């Protein structure tokens, strides 16, 4: 193919991908599958790899974070980025309406636009000739911080407008304002990863979004699922819509995401009705809001009313009642998770928050209790946001009573009584007893999932446990057909199929069995490393902490966790039962990889979700080319392979100066080496 034809194909791919991005991220109407989309993106990347001189800033491939910046440059906004006055009830709203009506009688016949008051970080985006050239935080309203590189990582942000074919021609110079924030599900997923890795839990989505956008390393921003909506045109060269409602539609036509919940209200009574509806349904919204923004629809009238202080007269924030209350902390309880993580929770004097009676709230972790100096008997501030579990913000120190007791974390598991362990540099506390009753059901669920026991889901595991048939993972292999037929819901065929599936699980590899045991910190990669060095579970049980620490990718903390797990009497009993049941695989010596070995001498760690590779695929790809896989980042790590939603490993790599690769760069490295 000639260069001219290849370049034409490149432009066509960019146009097509931008169109699909617009349909997926803005309209929520995808027209192709994820696999088809990935195929198009890979074709584009292949051309750009062959001709790097053709890469442009607006290419769909240019989403990954750039190199860390030493500091943020300052950006002067083209017009003041104003704040909003507040109305805390209907009386405040009507008083605002009367004030601006006295200034201009046109207000009494005006329509309004009601938009969600998003709880995030305000940003200003600059487009020149349709190309995204700069993005900045609001800052002090006149001058903000340049966060262009970080904003480029947001999937919803169009790098060129219009984002879809047939869209309106944009002004030659355009500044728009929007809000960067987390969807609730993405913030919860981030905190789940933090908790599972024993790291600190983020308390508020808004502060976390702001901190994420203002990272000096854009790759950290890229690893977290930030999103944004646009709602205003700040400045433009050329004709723009005359009303706010038309502006929102115009912005969407250009390719910007806007809040779908926004509504046009014909008068103030419509605004009041919309507010009541939103307040009743606020928990169902996919993001956090603390009210609605009411704007005059007529932009000319809006501008004529001017500004008072830093608040435009033509709009106001109509706030929802606060979902924060104070109540008495009566005691602190502790939950035990599948991996043994102990999580404290507050036992509260019942209190109503947003129409819901709250008796318990999360306390995040034991370090949080100590840092906030939360004491039993304190009056504490509790927040409930949407469907998120209520959480304690901190104590009300001015109301602390003399008898308030300092809390001491448990020395033993509150369920099984086994000693609790902590790991250096982690905030989590653990029960390492695999036979702990609180952990059994979840341990068995993990075990059967890894060993691919078909037909045994969460409900059946709970049913077996409740019947006393499965008290640990080894009990699965002593189940009989008669045992299953004695349970509700089991007939001959179902029982036979499950017994056959359990029998098949006896033959799984040592690698799989190690992972299935659910040893804290031992994932697929570490299980592979252990099965490569040791022939069976007996050999691992006899290994010293130092022996295990010597394995590439296993640090001293995890090595100690592994030896502690094998030293527990209850875990020894489980292993003895597995061996007696014949579930005792032995690993075979690894065959030396054949073919070119471009990764010989290199150690890789994989984190996050890759576009086309599963975690196993990535490992196979690396090992087939002579590379080593490790489960954690250290100074010995050659490269960290990063996908979406990368967690603490990315932070560790940045701290140690370990270079990062995405999936395409990994493949290119294999070709170039």
Identify whether 117 is a catalytic site residue: yes
Phi-psi region of 402 (alpha: psi -120 to 50; beta: other; left: phi over 0): alpha
Q: Find residue 144's DSSP bridge partners.
A: 75
Q: Do 264 and 184 form a contact (C-beta atoms < 8 A)?
A: no
DSSP states of 76-110:
E-SS------EE-SHHHHHHHHHHHHHH-GGGGG-
Distance CA 187, CA 361 (A): 18
Q: Do 382 and 348 form a contact (C-beta atoms < 8 A)?
A: yes
330's enclosing H/E stretch is strand 324-336
Closest CA to 342 of 332, 351, 352, 328: 332
Q: Do 666 and 618 form a contact (C-beta atoms < 8 A)?
A: yes
Distance CA 361, CA 353 (A): 12
Give the 3-state secondary structure of residue 248. helix
Closest CA to 293 of 337, 263, 255, 273: 263
Give CA separation, 586 vs 510, 579, 630, in Å: 6, 12, 21
Exposed / middle / buried, residue 489 (Cβ in 10 Å: 0-12, 13-18, 19+): exposed
What the block records as the tokens of 480 is 């009989």
Q: Do 378 and 404 form a contact (C-beta atoms < 8 A)?
A: yes
Q: Find residue 362's DSSP bridge partners.
A: 345, 391
- Rounded-to-5 percentages of helix, strand, coil across the chain: 40, 20, 40
- b/e sequence 128-158, b meaning 16+ C-beta within 10 Å: eebebebbbbbbeeeebbbbbbbbbbbbbbb
Cis peptide bond upstream of 162, omega within 30: yes
Per-residue DSSP letter, 509? -
Which of 71, 109, 117, 401 is the catalytic position? 117
Distance CA 435, CA 418 (A): 10
Place of tokens 């809040």: 259
Q: Do 144 and 150 form a contact (C-beta atoms < 8 A)?
A: no
Q: Give φ, ψ of 79 to 5 degrees.
A: -155, 155
Give CA separation, 486 vs 67, 255, 468, 473, 481, in Å: 62, 60, 12, 20, 9
Q: Do 120 and 228 form a contact (C-beta atoms < 8 A)?
A: yes
C-alpha dihedral sign at 168, 39, 56, 259? positive
Query: What is the number of alpha carbons within 13 Å of residue 206 lying toward its C-beta?
Result: 11
Distance CA 203, CA 364 (A): 9
Closest CA to 629 of 591, 648, 602: 602
Cβ contacts of residue 148 below 8 Å, gap of 6+? Answer: 132, 133, 134, 135, 136
Which residue numbers are catalytic? 117
């Amino acid at each position: 193919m000639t260069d001219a034809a290849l370049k034409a194909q490149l432009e066509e791919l960019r146009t097509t991908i931008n169109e699909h991005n617009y349909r997926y991220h803005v309209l929520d109407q995808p027209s192709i599958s994820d696999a088809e989309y990935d195929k198009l993106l890979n074709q584009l990347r292949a051309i750009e790899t062959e001709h790097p001189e053709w890469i442009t800033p607006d290419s769909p491939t240019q989403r990954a974070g750039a190199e860390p910046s030493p500091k943020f440059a300052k950006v002067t906004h083209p017009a003041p980025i104003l704040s909003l006055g507040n109305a805390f009830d209907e009386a405040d709203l009507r008083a605002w309406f009367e004030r601006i009506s006295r200034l201009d009688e046109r207000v009494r016949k005006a329509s309004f636009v009601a938009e969600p008051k998003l709880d995030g970080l305000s940003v200003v985006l600059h487009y020149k000739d349709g190309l995204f050239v700069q993005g900045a935080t609001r800052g002090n309203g006149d001058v903000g911080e340049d966060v262009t590189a970080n904003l480029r990582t947001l999937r919803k942000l169009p790098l060129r407008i219009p984002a879809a074919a047939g869209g309106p021609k944009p002004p030659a110079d355009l500044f728009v304002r929007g809000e960067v924030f987390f969807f609730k599900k993405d913030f919860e997923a981030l905190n789940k990863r933090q908790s599972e890795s024993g790291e600190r839990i983020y308390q508020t989505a808004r502060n976390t979004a702001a901190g994420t956008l203002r990272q000096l390393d854009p790759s950290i921003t890229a690893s977290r699922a930030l999103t944004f909506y646009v709602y205003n045109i700040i400045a433009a060269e050329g004709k723009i819509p005359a009303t706010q409602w038309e502006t929102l539609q115009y912005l969407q036509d250009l390719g910007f995401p806007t809040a779908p919940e926004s509504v046009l209200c014909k008068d103030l009574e419509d605004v009041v009705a919309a507010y009541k509806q939103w307040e009743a349904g606020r928990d169902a919204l996919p993001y956090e809001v603390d009210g609605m923004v009411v704007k005059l629809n007529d932009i000319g009238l809006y501008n004529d009313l001017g500004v008072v202080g830093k608040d435009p007269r033509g709009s106001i924030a109509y706030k929802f009642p606060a979902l924060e209350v104070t109540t008495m902390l009566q005691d602190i309880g502790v939950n035990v998770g599948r991996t043994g993580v102990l999580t404290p929770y507050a036992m509260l004097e019942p209190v109503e928050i947003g129409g819901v009676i709250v008796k318990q709230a999360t306390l995040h972790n034991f370090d949080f209790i100590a840092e906030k100096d939360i004491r039993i008997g304190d009056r504490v501030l509790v927040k409930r946001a949407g469907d998120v579990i209520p959480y304690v913000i901190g104590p009300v120190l001015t109301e602390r009573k003399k008898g308030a007791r300092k809390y001491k974390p448990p020395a033993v598991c509150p369920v099984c009584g086994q000693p609790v362990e902590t790991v250096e540099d982690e905030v989590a506390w653990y029960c390492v007893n695999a036979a702990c009753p609180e952990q059994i059901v979840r341990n068995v669920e993990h075990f059967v999932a890894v060993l691919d026991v078909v037909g045994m889901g969460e409900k059946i595991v709970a049913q077996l446990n409740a019947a006393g048939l499965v008290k640990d993972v080894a009990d699965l292999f002593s189940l009989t057909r008669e045992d299953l037929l004695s349970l509700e819901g089991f007939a001959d065929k179902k029982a036979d199929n499950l017994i056959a599936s359990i029998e098949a699980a006896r033959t799984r590899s040592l690698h799989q069995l190690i992972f299935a045991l659910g040893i804290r910190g031992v994932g697929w990669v570490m299980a592979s490393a252990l099965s490569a060095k040791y022939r069976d579970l007996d050999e691992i049980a006899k290994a010293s902490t130092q022996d295990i620490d010597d394995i590439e990718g296993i640090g001293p903390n995890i090595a100690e966790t592994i030896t502690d797990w094998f030293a527990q009497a209850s875990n020894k009993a489980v292993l003895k039962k597995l061996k007696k049941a014949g579930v005792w695989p032995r690993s075979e010596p690894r065959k030396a990889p054949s073919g070119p070995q471009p990764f010989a001498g290199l150690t890789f760690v994989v984190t996050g979700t890759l576009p086309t590779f599963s975690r196993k695929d990535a490992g196979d790809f690396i090992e087939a080319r002579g590379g080593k896989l490790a489960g954690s980042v250290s100074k010995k790590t050659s490269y960290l392979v990063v996908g979406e939603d990368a967690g603490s490993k990315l932070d560790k790599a940045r701290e140690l100066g370990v270079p990062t690769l995405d999936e395409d760069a990994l493949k290119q490295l294999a070709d170039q080496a």
